[in-house]
Structures are given as structure tokens and as C-alpha cells.
Amino acid sequence: MNRNKEIRSAGLKVTHARKSILKVLETSKESHLSADSINKILIKKNDDVGIATIYRVLNQFVDAGICIKHHFDSEQAVFELSPIEHHDHMVCVKTGKVIEFEDDVIEKRQEELAKKNGYKIIDHSLVLYVEPIE
């Protein structure tokens, strides 16, 4: 119920749809879900929420900082709960599995490269598209 506070403190009402969507994000084995897969999961639970509402709520969650939205070079966006610690992603092209990782060497290097060009980093996205060895 802790996360419901997040909804409220974002100035949003704690509605059924928002609670359901948040719970799916919290409890699904997949940490990265598309609006469509959230919809399918809710239908399977007999807890149907309109797809329009799912999109609306996810965008509100992103605005509120509760969620992050990724594109992973595909046309379909996926959402994950905002991580406490920043991390990057490794996506297996065979299985679709998403592995999260974090590396200080890379992080630091990025900062240096941006600064060298006269910029500071607002955000970044590193995705490794991988497949199992042999």
C-alpha cells in the first residue's frame, strides 16, 4: 500500500484503475511492460481497465516520476517503475528477456564525453541487444 501514497502525493486520486495498474507494475515478473501487456494481464485477472485509461495513467505516472518510459528501438513503448538506482538494459533478442545492469566506469566515461563537447547529461539510454553465447 506504500506505493498508493505515491499516487496521492502526485496529486492524483487513488482510483481503482491506478491501483490495479500500479500493482501489475509492482508484481509482474517482467519489470518492463507495454500498455498492451498490462491490459492483457488485467483482462486475465477479470479486472479490465480501458486501454485508454491505461495509457492515460501510465503517462501520469511518468509525469509524476513513478514510472519511466522506454522505447528500446521498437515502436511499442514499455514502462517500468522508477528505479531507485539508475540502471541500463540488456535485451536478449532471442528470448526478449530484459536484464538490468549498472556500471560506474561507463557512467563516468559518459559524463566526460559530454563535458568534452560542452554539454551536461540530462538523461541517457544504453541498451545492449544480446544473444546467449553459442
Site for a copy of itself, rule CB under 8 A: 69-75, 77, 90, 92-93, 99, 101, 103, 105-106, 109-110, 113-115, 117-133
Distances, alpha carbon 79 to alpha carbons 87, 110, 131, in Å: 14, 24, 23
The secondary structure of residue 80, as a DSSP letter, is E
Closest to 35 in 3D by CA, of 66, 78, 4:
78
- Complex with DNA: residue 17 or 90, whichever CB lies closer: 17
Residues in region 73-132 near DNA by CB under 7 A:
75-77
- Complex with DNA: residue 13 or 29, whichever CB lies closer: 13
**One-character DSSP codes across 26-38:** HH-S-S-B-HHHH
Residues in region 5-64 near DNA by CB under 7 A:
8, 12-18, 34-36, 48-53, 55-57, 59
Cα gap 66→12, rounded to integer Å: 12
- The site for DNA (CB under 7 A) is made up of 8, 12-18, 34-36, 48-53, 55-57, 59, 75-77
